[in-house]
Amino acid sequence: MLGDRRFFLESGFTDHQQLIDATYDVAEFWSVDPEVEMARPIGCVVEHFDQAVRINQRRAKAG
């Protein structure tokens, strides 16, 4: 029933533009060519995004 939209629900992204923007943000955060990040499976992009958020939260707490 959900078809290709399932990954959006599981990842927290609500549309394809949000996913594209996050992919470019992830590429910038990890100093990776955006084309390389765009070629990765969506699950990897989501994991990289989640880890970037976690690292930034830890840095913010450390002050």
Its pTM stands at 0.75
Integer CA distances (angstroms), 6 to 11, 27, 34, 35, 57, in order? 9, 24, 24, 24, 27
Residue pLDDT, tens place only, 1-59: 444 555 555 667 778 888 899 999 999 999 999 999 999 998 899 899 999 999 999 99
- Please report the pLDDT score of residue 9 as a whole number: 52
Integer CA distances (angstroms), 3 to 9, 19, 46, in order? 11, 17, 18
